Amino acid sequence: MQQQSGYGPWKRRVGDWLQVARSGGEWILLFALGVALAAFAFTTLLSEFKRNVGVPAWLGFLGLQFLPWPARVVFLGSAGFVALAYAALRLARIVLHPLLPAGQSIASVAAQRQRLERGPRVVAIGGGTGLATLLRGLKAHSSNITAIVTVADDGGSSGRLRRDLGVLPPGDFRNCITALADDETLLTQLFRYRFGDDTLDGHSFGNLFITALADITGSFERGLQESSKVLAIRGRVVPSTLQTVTLCAEVREGDNAPLKRVLGEASIPGSPGRIERVYLEPDAPAAYPVALQAILGADLIVAGPGSLYTSILPNLLLRELADAVRNSAAVKVQVCNMATQLGETEGFSVADHVRALQAHTGDVLFAIVLANENRHGELLPNMSWVPLGEPVSGCRLVAADLCDREHPWRHDSAKLAETLMGLLGELRTPS
């Protein structure tokens, strides 16, 4: 048993180096060609030196002149390449060791990065903690991820920065950036750090950092890019629009009661009554071009999980963005929430979630609906499990165990991502 446990890590390490060698074969060949040319030049120099000056006995001994020439070539060539490879490895370790995650080798990091770079192009649409949960699982399968985030948030720290400084609300962007971070380091925790209410008005460090970079670089999107570089994220985080928008809702308190207009994303869940419709002001903001390009080039588009009316729909209310989803050849999945949300989806089944989205977009944007079938665990007060309910015309319902054991009302990041990758592999494989 001890031999197996020792052999396993070496086997994985050799596999990592073989993967690196396969992907970087042209550079290895170039390196070998350079060594061969240098060796040829050196042997030419020795030959000329021998012809014109002569070779001392001790130099002939070091050059293994007493061996047949084929044996000298094999021995000296092998020793030279081993020495060069070992020296290159040690030098790379000295240079890269401070940058490597704890407990990982150069080969494993390089192999993982190459695997993720070949991963599918995934677009995740939403906001809030639901989108961050999804991204945390997806980053284990691909680095070609684009998170499209709503800019309608007007509550908490983000809302105050939006009103006081005129920037797009940074909170959801901060959550997505930290979720995609390559490593959960101290710097990632720093981005999440929130100051006390009596210091800096309860703002989080990440919100202030993104806002400061937006001011320094001259634009919010450039500030996002620089913030993403700091945490070395796997993928990118972009807004659905660069325009300042206000999310509005029409709410009805009773069956025969008149519709009441509610302004602001933060005010909608707390307003008494049932949400009939949400919409944006101004009516037709332009979608961010980078988001549209990502959607049209995606292999997989995922909407949700997250607050249906205040996180997911604010993105899809952008007509250009909804049209891009409609015209994309990607596999399109709507992820339904685990549990109902007070003020938004009380009493909703999976079918109700789907119908609400379709009512706002006009047709079926997502042909697959992914829902949780694990109903074990205790929910928070005012929550109930979202029942699967009846099927919805035009959609394929896929049920799976997506439940987080510690927080049953939330999705498990790994389970969700693995299920989505399985669906993508199934639907991309020719029948």
**Nearest 5°: phi and psi at 107?**
-65, -45
- What is the rounded distance in angstroms from the CA atom of residue 158 to the CA atom of residue 167? 9
Bridge partners (DSSP) listed for residue 249:
262, 278
Tens of pLDDT, residues 282-295: 988 999 999 999 99
Confidence class for position 41, pLDDT limits 50, 70, 90:
confident
pLDDT higher than threshold 50 for residue 117: yes
* pLDDT attached to residue 431: 43
What per-residue confidence (pLDDT) applies to 96? Answer: 58
H-run or E-run covering 369: strand 368-372
| pLDDT value at 21 more than 60 | no
Tokens encoding 399: 């049920």
Query: What per-residue confidence (pLDDT) applies to 3?
Result: 43
Can you give the pLDDT at residue 264? Answer: 95
pLDDT tens, residue by residue, 134-191: 999 999 999 999 999 999 999 988 999 999 899 999 999 999 999 999 876 777 788 8
DSSP character for 275?
E
> In the structure, what pLDDT confidence band is assigned to residue 48 with cuts at 50, 70 and 90?
low
Quickly list DSSP for 34-45: HHHHHHHHHHHH
* Domains delineated in the chain: 2-116 (no CATH), 120-151+240-428 (3.40.50.10680)
Q: What is the mean pLDDT of the chain?
A: 85
Q: Which pLDDT value is given to residue 106?
A: 61
Is there a contact between 379 and 342 (Cβ–Cβ < 8 Å)? no
CA distance 173 to 238: 8
The percentage of residues in the chain with a pLDDT greater than 70, rounded to a whole number, is: 80
Instruction: Identify the CA nearest to 239 among candidates 359, 120, 148.
Output: 148
Q: How confident is the model at residue 408 (pLDDT cuts 50, 70, 90)?
A: very high
Q: What is the pLDDT of residue 187?
A: 75
Helices (H), 24-120: 25-52, 57-62, 69-96, 106-117
Going across the sheet that includes 259-263, the strands are: 259-263, 246-252, 274-281
HEC secondary structure over 188-222: HHHHHCECCCCCHHHCEHHHHHHHHHHHHHCCHHH
